[in-house]
Amino acid sequence: MPDNSEGKMIRRPPFLYSLALLAAVAAVLLPFRAPAQAPRSFVITGAEVADGSGVPLYRANVRVQGERIARVGDFTPDAGEAVVDGKGLVLAPGFIDTHNHSDRGLEGDRLAESQISQGLTTLLLGQDGGSPWPIGEWLEKFRSEPPALNILMLVGHATVRRKVMGDDFRRAARPEEVAQMAQLVEQGMREGAVGLSSGLEYEVGSYSTTDEVVALSRVAGRYGGFYISHIRDEADRSFEAMRELLQIGREAGLPVQNTHIKIATAGVWNRAGEVAAMYDAARHAGQDVTADCYPYDAWHSNFKVLVPNKQYEDPASVAKAIADIGGPQNLLISTFQPHPEYEDRTLEEVAKAKGMTPTELLMEIIREGDGSVIGKGMMEADIRTFYAQPWVMVSSDGGIGTKHPRGAGTFPRVLGRLVREWHWLTLPEAVRRMTSLPAWRLKLMDRGLVREGMAADLVLFNPQTVIDRSTYREPEKLSEGIEKVYVSGVLVWDHDHATGARPGRVLAK
């Protein structure tokens, strides 16, 4: 009827108008409303919590809501809420590795299985003086295509030194060159680096003076960063190198870390107690100095690294190299293509069988084509002494694709062997060295503890079975006993496989 149709026509505009108004109001309100909606949550029940602080294990339920830990305590999950049964397992904060070499590996392997399978949720990259460049650009790639776990980056001292000096780096830098390097350190820090790394024992870094490193560290310190160093010598002159580290910290006024702390030649073995006393004295005097340590007493490399002065044909140099590692019984031949029959035997055994001296044999091996060797360079007692220091954290000095078992095994090895089998550390204390201690060093204020409000980077592991499986022969074999790993509340590792999720963040400042 005309009236009705007319009426409809009259009513239509206000109806449409109110719809548009509703849509407009909703458009304004919705963005504000979304966070108020409770994010997806689940509760891990019945686990023993090693909360990262070092206190004894306690039983608690832990609710994860979105990216955060929402509740820790004795409560019942809500009706319909997802539950993860943690009975018989330990729940800890995700592990943080302050010396990791996955920079390159992550580019082609965002899932980082060999890392997350150890319970790792955060890696500090750019170690030993080498970092990608420019740092901002590199980090951006990982923001747009995130990895499974979180990463942080350091400015590499050798990297900026090469940028400024090119191939002419085998000398002390001139003042204007140091000034240019300082500008690059500043650029790196502005682009998100959290500190300066050096490898003063390596080719490029070894030519730098202490003053150069102090000048660059000062810049890193100004941006709230710290200095982490593979120090100038880990052999006979270790103590000198450690004193230099302390000097750099004092003069540049920033925290310092002696990374992969070790005393690696016979001349300094059994002196870890003296090292600890020296660092303790500095700490008591108010200096912020820490260290990190990997739980292995041997390195895996080529024969040539044994002879640092590169005099492979000089019997005295080669003999000194063998003496430095404590004798030919401490060198296990891993691979040697010209004579596969040498493999898995020590230099001492093969030399005896051939009626040669170990020095003659080592010279012959290097002449015939090198190969790989496992050198037992550290005393177990020294490593134990380092781990007894409350300021020593666990680190791997490994990463994706590392040809040393530490790359895939470090963190489960500490839990399975150092804690469960050898009783060097209690479980809560070992977890503290993997979580809150490195988080504090890196100023990650919302990680490293199982506490309400913290990021939900979490590891569930079986304390009875957790163990490393990587060996010198099979360095990439994955660890066992890490049951579930969460990064920002997202499951990335489930018992024996990566889930494929990539919630990792660039944790730059």
Distance CA(96)–CA(152), nearest Å, equals: 10
Cβ 202 to Zn ion shortest distance, Å: 8
Cβ 407 to Zn ion shortest distance, Å: 13
Whichever of 58 and 207 has its CB closer to Zn ion, that residue is: 207
Whichever of 230 and 300 has its CB closer to Zn ion, that residue is: 230
Pairing of strands 458-461, 392-394: unpaired
Which residues in the 123-162 window bind Zn ion by CB under 5 A? Answer: 128
Cβ 453 to Zn ion shortest distance, Å: 35
**H-state helical runs in 285-314:** none
Which residues in the 410-449 window bind Zn ion by CB under 5 A? Answer: none
Whichever of 105 and 504 has its CB closer to Zn ion, that residue is: 105
DSSP letter string over 70-87? EEEES-PPPTT-EEEE-T
Pick the stretch among 229-237, 238-246, 334-342, 359-367 that binds Zn ion (CB under 5 A).
229-237
Whichever of 199 and 371 has its CB closer to Zn ion, that residue is: 199
Cβ neighbours of residue 69 closer than 8 Å, sequence gap 6 or more: 62, 63, 450, 451, 452, 453, 454, 455, 456, 458
Cβ 396 to Zn ion shortest distance, Å: 11
> What are the φ/ψ torsions at residue 196 (nearest 5 degrees)?
-115, 135
The answer to whether 362 and 318 are in contact (CB under 8 A) is: yes
Query: Closest-CB residue for Zn ion?
Result: 230
Among 63, 68, 162, 230, binds Zn ion (CB under 5 A): 230
The interface mask with Zn ion, positions 187-226, x = CB under 5 A, is: ----------------------------------------
Distance CA(484)–CA(408), nearest Å, equals: 16
The answer to whether 472 and 334 are in contact (CB under 8 A) is: yes
The interface mask with Zn ion, positions 298-337, x = CB under 5 A, is: ----------------------------------------
The interface mask with Zn ion, positions 49-88, x = CB under 5 A, is: ----------------------------------------
Whichever of 118 and 402 has its CB closer to Zn ion, that residue is: 402
Cβ 295 to Zn ion shortest distance, Å: 15
Cβ 260 to Zn ion shortest distance, Å: 5
Whichever of 128 and 480 has its CB closer to Zn ion, that residue is: 128
Pick the stretch among 121-129, 143-151, 287-295, 427-435 that binds Zn ion (CB under 5 A).
121-129
Whichever of 63 and 406 has its CB closer to Zn ion, that residue is: 406
Cβ 370 to Zn ion shortest distance, Å: 21
Residue whose tokens read 């496992």: 374
Cβ neighbours of residue 95 closer than 8 Å, sequence gap 6 or more: 118, 119, 120, 121, 122, 394, 411, 434, 435, 459
Q: How far is CA 402 from CA 51, 97, 336, 407, 507, in A?
A: 30, 15, 19, 5, 24
Q: How many residues bind to Zn ion according to rule CB under 5 A?
A: 2
Cβ 156 to Zn ion shortest distance, Å: 12
Cβ 235 to Zn ion shortest distance, Å: 13
Whichever of 96 and 200 has its CB closer to Zn ion, that residue is: 200
Residue whose tokens read 């063998």: 322
Whichever of 64 and 152 has its CB closer to Zn ion, that residue is: 152
Q: Tell me the residue ranges of DSSP E strands in 192-336.
A: 195-199, 226-230, 256-258, 289-293, 299-302, 331-335
Whichever of 232 and 376 has its CB closer to Zn ion, that residue is: 232
Cβ 444 to Zn ion shortest distance, Å: 22
Other CB atoms closer than 10 Å to residue 183's CB: what's the count? 13
Distance CA(463)–CA(121), nearest Å, equals: 19
Pairing of strands 95-97, 68-73: unpaired
Cβ 440 to Zn ion shortest distance, Å: 22
Cβ 201 to Zn ion shortest distance, Å: 8
234 is an interface residue for Zn ion by CB under 5 A: no
Q: How far is CA 364 from CA 59, 306, 341, 377, in A?
A: 60, 14, 15, 22
Whichever of 123 and 333 has its CB closer to Zn ion, that residue is: 123
Cβ neighbours of residue 20 closer than 8 Å, sequence gap 6 or more: none
The answer to whether 400 and 105 are in contact (CB under 8 A) is: yes
Distance CA(117)–CA(107), nearest Å, equals: 18
| Nearest alpha-carbon partner for 392 in 338, 437, 442, 347 | 437
Whichever of 230 and 406 has its CB closer to Zn ion, that residue is: 230
Contact footprint for Zn ion (CB under 5 A): 128, 230
